[in-house]
Amino acid sequence: MPEKNASEKFDLSIDLAGLKLKNPLITASGTCGNGKELDNYFDINKLGAFTLKGITVSPRKGNKSPRIAETPSGIINSIGLENPGIDQFIKKTIPEIAEYRLPFFCNISGYSEAEFLELAEKLCGRKEIAGVEVNLSCPNIEGGGLAFGTDPKTVYSITKKVRKIYDKLLIVKLTPNITDITEIAEAAESGGADCVSMINTISAMKIDIDKQKPLLGSLTGGLSGPAIRPAAVKMVYDTFKKINIPIIGIGGIRNGRDVIEFMLAGASAAGIGTINMIEADAALRIIGEIKDYLKKHNIKRLSSLIGKAHI
């Protein structure tokens, strides 16, 4: 039945600043390990792209336990960037991901400008890595301890310097813990970012009322999951009006309809995070649900929806 087949052909591909993804689903850093853990549950090659667990210059043990608290439709985490450090990452993780056939993004975090540059330099020219995602949510130790991502000038400066060193896809991940996220997005664009990913987790805490103490070992953490989705959608919507580079929408996505919502708000691609922790192979279901939506609305090309909710 050629007619039926033709009507079920949908183009889910996305152009992310020149990098073509077969579909818009990208794992969000820190919720999906480094590939092989999720690959036990489904063929990760079916994802649009994969963002690896955040890496710092030096190895980090992470925060005190408990590191996770459940809240209504969400979780607060304070993992504290536990990772083996860039050198071990290059030695061990990069050869492991080489066997897969999809773009990998490396999420990098620094505690000073110099650290961001060192990370970018070490990843430059690595054919296994399609891009870096600059995580600006760490405290700027030399700059008074506030997160890098809260000051447009700092964001511009780091982005510009990383841009000079790093020639492949440069993503800047935006923190929502700021008055106006669009200013930061504009700073990243001016600095030469290829795209922005948003949002990172929302600063939050939970208090154990029986112990009468904060529940998390590090007292506070970052909220993710369906609870933050409406806030994230609004920030993507606002940011889309201000910048011309693509947006990777992240925040509580758990089904195909959520992806569509982010795309209508202005996202070109969708980061899936917390859902991976509950349903390891959620991406496959979500891809199916996106197709169902396109079929229902008789839309051939998914990318035609980007920003369509803007009046």
Residues in contact with other proteins, shown as a per-residue x/- string from 202 to 231 under the rule CB under 8 A = -----------------------xx-----
Should residue 41 be labelled a site residue for other proteins when binding is judged by CB under 8 A? Answer: yes
For the four alpha carbons of 38, 40, 42 and 44, in that order, the dihedral sign comes to: positive
CA nearest neighbour of 81 among 212, 168, 208, 173:
173
Query: CA-CA distance, 306 to 247, in Å (whole number)?
Result: 10
Return the amino acid letter for 187.
A
Among 67, 161, 234, 242, binds other proteins (CB under 8 A): 67
Indicate the residue among 36 and 295 with the shorter CB distance to other proteins: 36
Residues in contact with other proteins, shown as a per-residue x/- string from 47 to 66 under the rule CB under 8 A = ------x-------xx--xx
Taking residue 73's Cβ as centre, other Cβ atoms within 10 Å add up to 14
Residues in region 253-292 near other proteins by CB under 8 A: 254, 274, 276-280
Indicate the residue among 19 and 259 with the shorter CB distance to other proteins: 259
Look at strands 19-21 and 14-16 and give their pairing. antiparallel
Query: CA-CA distance, 146 to 110, in Å (whole number)?
Result: 13
3-state secondary structure of 26: strand
Indicate the residue among 192 and 226 with the shorter CB distance to other proteins: 226
Q: Both tokens of residue 90?
A: 């290059």
- Judge whether 32 counts as a catalytic residue: no
Residues classed as catalytic: 138
- Residues near other proteins (CB under 8 A) are 30-33, 37-38, 40-41, 53, 61-62, 65-70, 72-75, 77, 79, 82, 225-226, 254, 274, 276-280
